[in-house]
Structure 1
Amino acid sequence: MFAGEGTATAENKQVVLERFIEGPPKETDMAMKTGKIELKSPKGSGAILVKNLSLSCDPYMRDFKPGDFISGLTGWEEYSLIRNTWQLRKIQPDHYIPLSYHLGLLGMPGFTAYAGFYEICSPKNGEYVFLSAASGAVGQLVGQLAKLHGCYVVGSAGSSQKETDLDAALKRYFPQGIDIYFDNVSGAILDAALLNMWIHGRIARIRMRGFLQSDYLHKFPQFLEHVTENFKQGKIVYIEDMNEGLETAPAAFVGLFAGINIGKQVICVAKG
C-alpha cells in the first residue's frame, strides 16, 4: 500500500463477494465492481487513505505521512480508507527486497515460520526436522531456517508423485526418529509423523502447542533483522506466485483450494 492525500475523485475497482459460498469457492462467487472514492481522508475521521499495490490472497505504526509504504489489512480494492490504523505497519523500502515480500517472507507467513520454529520448536544443531507443505508460504522458510540452524531437513509437498505408505517413507528418511515436526496440514501426514517421533520430539501445530504469530510480536524486529540479512546474503530464497491485476483476484483465490499456486499467492494491483 502507498499512503497519500489528495482532493480529487478516482474510480475504485473492488472485488466483492457476490453470494454466500456453498462448497468449493468459484470465481463466480465474486464480482468486480467499480465505484468512486474521494482522494482525501474525511476531516476529523482519524483515517488515512492508501492506494493498494499488492494484496495477500488468503499485521503497526501511527503518524503516517504521504509517501509512506505500509502493510496491513485492507479490502480487495485499488484504494482503501483505513480507520483502525493501529494494525498498520510502516515499511522501509529496500531495493534488494520486493515490496510484495512484506506479505510473505517478511509478513505474517514468514513470522509464523520464524516464531514457530525458534520459539515453539526450540531447535538444536544436528536435530532431525520434518515439515509438511514445504513449498508453501510458511513451509519454504521453515525448511531454510532449519538448514541454517544446522538441522537435517526433509519436507513433503503435494505433487502427482504420491507415497502409498507414509509411515514407511518417514522411516526411510528418519530411521532414528523425528526430533521436530512442523505441521502445516494435519491429517494422514500428522498421523504418520506421530508414529515416528523420537523421545523428546516436538510438534509445532496449533492445538498441540497453541501458538499464533501474534503471540510473539515482541520478536518481530528480531525476525525482520534475521530474515532480511540472510535473504540479502543469498542464504534464504523465497518463492511467491504473483498474479497481475485486481481482476485476477477471484481466480487466484479459487486456485488456493486446488493447489495451483506455489509459494505465497499475491495479487499485484499497482506498481510502487
Structure 2
Amino acid sequence: MAGEKTIQSVEEYLEVIKANKKRNTDAGNMEDFLFRGQKDDFPLVPKIARLKPKEDLFSTERLLLHEFKRTNFLLIDTQRPLDDWDYLTIGQHFGLPTRLLDWSNNALTALWFAIWEENPERKTCKNAIVWILMPEANDFNLDTDAVHPFDIQETKIFRPRIIKQRINNQSGVFCIQPAAEIEKKIALNDAESFKNKLFKIKIPFEKFQEIRTDLNTLGVNAFTIFPELEGLCSHLQWRYFYTDKNSIAEAKSLIE
C-alpha cells in the first residue's frame, strides 16, 4: 500500500489527495485518481467474491447474468443495454452480485459514501474509509468490444457507458478482476499489480456529522448522489431531523 492517513475535515482530506497527486505527477503519472468510500475498513473485494455460492462460483456467475437478462427483460430493456458489460453495469447498480468493484472519479462523492450512514448507534467501526486508487495508463487498457467480462486475464479499470443517470451523478467507474483472482478471493489491495497504487484515508466516526454538513455546503448530499425520490427523501430527513447522538439527546431533554 502506498500509505494511509487519518483526516479530521474535508480540507485535510483534499490536502491528502493533493499531496498524492503531486507525487504522481512529479513521477510522470498523469492519470486521474479514482476514489472508493466504505463505511468500514474491509478489503477491496467485489460482492460475488464475498458470498458463498450454493454451486460452483463461476457457473453461478454465468447463471446470475443469464437469469438477470431473462427474468427482468421489460425492466432492463428501458436502459437499452448493448452487451454484457452494460448488463453487469445495470446489475451492479441494483445489487446483483458481480465481479465489478465500484469507484468514482469524484473525491467528494466517495467521501459522502463513506460517512453517509445516519444511524447514531452505529458501533461496527471506529473509522470510515476512502481508498484512493492511483492508476497508470495501462490499467485502463481494456477493449470491451473484443473481450467478454468473464474472460479478462488481468485486473482492469472499466469505464461504463452512461446508461443510467445515477452512474453519471456518481461519476461511476469499475475495477474488474479475472477469474483467477476472484477464485482465490484476492483483494485489490493485495493484488501485486495494484497494491502499491492504493492509499487509505481514515475518517473518525465522531467527525461524520461535521463532514456531512460541509459536503452539503459543497453541493454533495443524498439527492445529488441519488437523483431520485429515494435520494430526495433521505436528504430531507437529514436536513430537518437530528441524526447524531448528542443532538438526539439534546432534543429529548427539551421534551422531558
Note whether the superposition's TM-score is higher than 0.5.
no
Is the helix fraction higher in 1 or 2?
2
* TM-score grouping bracket, smaller chain normalisation: under 0.3
Q: Normalising to structure 2: TM-score of the pair?
A: 0.27
The answer to which structure, 1 or 2, has the higher relative contact order (CA under 8 A, 6+ apart) is: 2
Tell which structure's C-alpha radius of gyration is larger. 1
